[in-house]
Amino acid sequence: MTRIVVKVGTHAIANKRGRPDRKALERIAGGICRLRQAGCETVFVSSGAVAAGVEALGLDTRPRDVNDVQMCAAVGQARFICEYEKLFASHGVKIGQVLLTHHDFEERRRSQNVKKAVEHLLKAGIVPIVNENDVVADEELKGQTFGDNDHLSFLMAKLLKADTLILLSTVDGLLDAHGRRIPEISNFRNIAKLVRPGEKGSLSKGGMGSKLKAVKAAVAAGIDVYIANGRRRSLDDLASGRATGTFFPGSTL
């Protein structure tokens, strides 16, 4: 059985105001369920809690104050997990929420507890939905954020010995200087000259630069990676063996 970690960014599942985009959520939830039907153990890493809280609280932009971010996360996380519970239930699938911080990966005993808990969910046929626990995350340690969960998804893939990591964004993959999708990249040398990183949105803290760091780490750990469009049926394409997004083959180097 193949083990896959699917990560979706904030802007792929929320509108400009941060409100959960139900059509996008339905598409991704359905895609994950079809991956499971194709024989893949699937862990779902989802961003969007803070953005949903921003909209729910009537804020114009993502706040910078730590306490305000925590407040948005507390309000928004309930919104997103409620939506996911309904959508996965429509496919007859149960979900389980897993909220993590950097501290859960820094000490072996804690990381092994995370691994055992997630694998137990998978064994029971439950889809683990993973997110950074922004309510208690130590944001004062600048530089230790998960980058809209890109780095978190790599850490989960490595911890669980996943075969594949799928990063869903709002673009069709890695784009060259002319905006054309690059189907495959097997060498990171001179990658900065090949791609157009683009800008991150105001509701998230990631961007293509954050994704490429996660890709590089995952590939070095021997994990195959795709960057694909979360606003298309990319998961269905992958479940059916059709090419989509940009593929980065794993390496043991």
Percent of the chain topping pLDDT 90? 57
Strand 224-229 relative to strand 246-248, pairing: antiparallel
Rounded CA separation 51/13 (Å): 10
pTM over 0.75: yes
Other CB atoms closer than 10 Å to residue 5's CB: what's the count? 29
- Specify the 3-state DSSP secondary structure of 159: helix
State the pLDDT at residue 2. Answer: 92
Pair of tokens at residue 147? 């980058």
Q: Could you report the per-residue pLDDT of 172-199, keeping only the tens digit for each?
A: 998 887 888 999 998 776 665 555 555 4
**The pLDDT of residue 6:** 98
Q: Which residues contact 178 (CB under 8 A, 6 or more apart)?
A: none
pLDDT at 176: 82
What pLDDT, on the 0 to 100 scale, is given for residue 186?
84
Domain boundaries, the chain: 2-248
Q: Report which of 77, 89, 171 is spatially closest to residue 130, judged by C-alpha positions.
A: 77
Q: What are phi and psi of 144, to 5 degrees?
A: -110, 25
Of the two residues 166 and 21, the one the predictor is more confident about is: 166
Provide the pLDDT confidence category of residue 10 given band limits of 50, 70 and 90.
confident
Helices assigned H by DSSP within the chain? 10-13, 22-37, 49-56, 66-89, 103-106, 108-123, 150-159, 191-194, 208-220, 234-239
pLDDT of residue 200: 47
Burial tier of 109 (Cβ tally within 10 Å: 0-12, 13-18, 19+): exposed
Q: What pairing do the DSSP bridges indicate for beta strands 164-169 and 2-8?
A: parallel
Pick the CATH number of 2-248 from 3.50.50.60, 3.40.1160.10, 3.40.47.10, 3.40.250.10: 3.40.1160.10
| Bridge partners (DSSP) listed for residue 132 | 100
Is the pLDDT at 69 greater than 90? The verdict is no
- The DSSP result for 2-60, as a single string, is EEEEEEE-HHHHB-TTS-B-HHHHHHHHHHHHHHHHTTEEEEEEE--HHHHHHHHTT-S
Given this model, what pLDDT does residue 141 score? 42
pLDDT given for residue 20 in this prediction: 75
Express each pLDDT in 204-234 by its tens digit: 455 678 888 899 999 999 999 999 999 999 9
With tokens 């993973």, the residue in question is 130
